[in-house]
Amino acid sequence: GRGRDDAVRSLRILVTALFFLLCFGAVALTCIALASTVTSRLFFSEAGKGALVSIAAFLALSRFTYDTYFRYLTATRRVFLPGVFQIAVMGLFPLAVILVGYPLSVDWLLAETAVGTFVLWIAFFLVGLVRRRNWSLAGLKPDIGILRKLVGYGAQRIPTILGLILMLSSPVVIAKQLHLPDGDVV
């Protein structure tokens, strides 16, 4: 994106990354949905929170794909669109969801935010494609060579990411296993 690749190759890198994230995300979401009841018991003392676990996973996927597209925009040295994109998706939209849906449950608010984030980044992506005059269908095909490089680049970071997740979530899991009240966990 920073001048090392032409526009078609940059777009192909983006499409390959998004394709991988969406395919991997669909498999991960299916596994999480199937195990959501068991997983929810690790984080919540009351039953019936399996949907919240699945919704949180979908929110994570929508934010991963959003972030991938946002980084593509900034790497291609665009200024205006990434700024508007960031303000809309990370600021205004979640605020609007809270203001409009305030009396609704947390599950519902997170689900709206997840779906909205997903729809917004896709809309920005399509608008960006229409506005660019130098793209071709060749740039919209995932490339297995690029995917190998991206997976190799990302695989090195998995232990750090898992360690961070463990570090941040283990106090909550331990507190819930000790049956501490929610206020103490917070």
pLDDT exceeds 70 at position 38: yes
pLDDT digits (tens, 9 = 90+) for 133-147: 656 665 677 888 888
Q: How far apart are CA 93 and CA 44, in angstroms?
A: 27
pLDDT digits (tens, 9 = 90+) for 74-118: 887 777 878 888 888 888 888 888 888 777 787 888 888 888 888
* Mean pLDDT, residues 157-167: 86
On the CB side of 41, CA atoms within 13 Å amount to 3
Which H helix or E strand runs over 37?
helix 36-43
What does each C-alpha distance from 182 to 18, 44, 143, 172, 175 come to in angstroms? 37, 9, 47, 10, 9
What does each C-alpha distance from 97 to 123, 125, 128 come to in angstroms? 18, 22, 25
Which residue is listed with tokens 């917004």? 120
- Please say whether the beta carbons of 51 and 107 come within 8 A: yes
Work out the pLDDT band at 27, boundaries 50, 70, 90. very high
- Please say whether the beta carbons of 86 and 72 come within 8 A: no
For residue 177, give both structure tokens. 């296993």
In angstroms, how far is CA 79 from the centroid of its own chain? 22
pTM, entire model: 0.71
